[in-house]
Chains A and B, each alone.
Chain A
Amino acid sequence: MNADLGPLWLSCKVATAATIGVALVGLPIAFILARFRFPGKGLAAGVLALPLVLPPTVVGYLLLLAFGRRAWLGAWLERAFGVVLVFHWSGAVLASAVAAFPLFLLPARGAFEAVDPRLEDAARLLGRGEFSVLAAVTLPLAWRGLAAGLALAFARALGDFGATMMVAGDVPGLTQTASLAIYDAVQVGDSSRAAWLSLGIASIAAAALAFVQRTLPGRGGRP
């Protein structure tokens, strides 16, 4: 049993880190896409949603092209910070975060768009600056959609296989997340290990879905 919990624990760690990364990068992008008009907006929104439709192995391959040790971005990261993503669990974080990103971005953008901009104007007329408007009006009104998007992104990151496999590889104890471990277990005929891991990962994903379903209805209520 002890050996079974390792990949599950790694999956949770990777998915949590990926979700935090998605939130940090995705929140401002979702807000900008919802509130501003600029040239190339449609193209930008399309590119950001691309991981949703690309095969995960293609997403992983593109990430390798950019972050491999001999690729320019990867080489720079290694020189400047000593960070090597390939065959490291941080590579799994990057891969699953990119794969999960659109699942946060789309509902988050919708949540921001659903906030009546006239309410934000009313707040400004009452003496609030931009940051205060965001913190006191926009975020509290959009939070349900944002939380739902985060839960979806978490569930997607939790289950990523293809992109993680391409970037981080399948190193037991190091980068072997639950999805990869299930695949390996089936390959070697260890069906009880595959079943236990599947049950574990499915329970966590189902909990995330339950959270989404509890959160989504009645948008705009109090936190």
Chain B
Amino acid sequence: MSPSVGGALDARVVRRVHPGLTVDVSLKLGAEIGVLFGRSGAGKSTLLRLLAGLDRPDAGRVELAGEVLFDLRSGRDVPLRRRRVGMIFQDDLLFPHLDVRGNVGFGLRAESRRDRERRVAEVASAFGIEHLIDRRVETLSGGERQRVGLARALAPRPRLLLCDEPVSALDLGGRRTLLDRLRDVPRVEGVPVLYVTHSPAEAITLGTRLFLMEAGRIAAEGPPAEVLAGSVRAEFSHLEGVRNVFSGRVAEHEAGGEWTRLALDDGPSLVVAPVAAPIGSRVAVEVDGDDVLLALGPIAGLSARNQVEGTVEAIAVHGREAEVLVRVGGLRWLVSTLGSTPAELGLAPGRSVRLIVKARSVRVEASPA
């Protein structure tokens, strides 16, 4: 199913959480994955609770698939049980007194026994948990539990799926599996998915649209890689993990399996440690600003694999530390240095520099092509 108006979320919600934070957000989302991205305390989880109906907005209107769920003016407030909104949480919140089958079928009570069994089998196979169906939930691994939680949320065919950092407690393998299953949800179920995270890699590999949340408001909105690249500005540099985040594709594997070359979107290519993904796979790339060196020109006889030419755009000195913003093609890189370095190198906006990046300093997260 393609993104359609019928399956869309159209919401404006306002709620004063505490004197320092008022969530005030307008948001539209079709049958695609929207990522709600921002530091903790920005109001992401509160926004999800408001959209789900777990908390009541002070003002606003929530419309889902053409039905008004909440409207302050008309006094309409559809009760939780009739909203048909699915949600998965950081803790899976499975019912400990039920087995996997009981959990997955929990939202299907209104259906006949046969329909219920058919739907449970259907979602169980879609999320790879058929073999666990008779297990008690405390015998499952974290990743299995989250897949059961996802199957449980989707079994009653919700009109919206909300995900509140569902993979943050999982190991890498469990994370990958859940994200792979989640990626297909808008297409298979035809519903919008709103996904809360503070991991740029998840945002880029999962989302088709990103909402950058700051202090209760949406500060920027657009394609994930674009918004995150734009967020690498001086005022965001204190945001841990939002340093240099780019999207790209796998371009080449070295025949001996020693390295992989990535082509960044709107940017240079980078040689990185081997990536276990076929050529053409989408990747998210993260480079810490502390791991990038600056040089005034090309350097011969250097072990680092990448020398990327760029132009200094801005310099911010905060006491003993400084941050240099360098434009490379359509991308901006943030490089951390000592406070005195920009002056010693004679850096100034417009000056051409080389970024030196070791293959091993680049963190890569691949998603299937």
- A interface with B by C-beta (< 8 Å): 116, 118-119, 121-129, 132, 136-137, 140-141, 220-223
| A125 with B85: CB separation less than 8 A | yes
Top 6 A-B residue pairs of the complex, sorted by shortest distance between their CB atoms:
A126-B107, A124-B80, A140-B97, A122-B93, A127-B81, A222-B97
B76 to chain A, nearest CB (A): 18
Task: A118 to B164: give the CA distance in the assembly, Å.
Answer: 13
Q: Is the CB of B97 within 8 A of A221?
A: yes
Which residues of chain B in 111-153 are interfacial with respect to chain A, using CB atoms and an 8 Å cutoff?
Answer: 136, 152-153
Can you identify 14 A-B contacts, CB atoms within 8 angstroms?
A: A118-B91, A121-B80, A123-B95, A125-B83, A125-B85, A125-B87, A126-B152, A127-B82, A127-B84, A127-B109, A128-B109, A132-B109, A141-B96, A221-B97
Interface string of B100-111 (1 = CB under 8 A from A): 000000110110
* B93 x A124 contact (CB < 8 A): no
Residues of B within 8 A of A (CB): 52, 54, 80-87, 89, 91, 93, 95-98, 106-107, 109-110, 136, 152-153, 156
Complex Cα distance, B83 from A221, in Å, reads 30
Bound complex: CA A123 to CA B156 (Å): 12
Interchain CB contact under 8 A, A126 and B93: no
* A-B contacts, CB under 8 A, total: 57
Contact partners of B81 in chain A: CB under 8 A: 124-125, 127-129
Give the docked Cα–Cα distance between A167 and B288 (Å): 79
Residues of B within 8 A of A125 (CB): 52, 54, 80-81, 83, 85-87, 153
Instruction: Report the minimal beta-carbon distance from A10 to chain B, rounded to whole angstroms.
Output: 38
Measured between beta carbons, the chain A residues less than 8 angstroms from B85 are 125
- Closest B-chain residue to A116, C-beta based? B93
Question: Which of B80, B85, B106 has the most chain A CB atoms closer than 10 A to its own CB?
Answer: B80
Q: How far is the CB of B92 from chain A (nearest CB, A)?
A: 9
Beyond contacts A125-B87, A127-B110: 9 other A-B pairs, Cβ-Cβ < 8 A, are A119-B93, A122-B87, A123-B95, A125-B54, A125-B86, A126-B153, A132-B109, A137-B95, A223-B97
The CB with the most chain B CB atoms within 10 A, among A121, A123, A127, is that of: A127
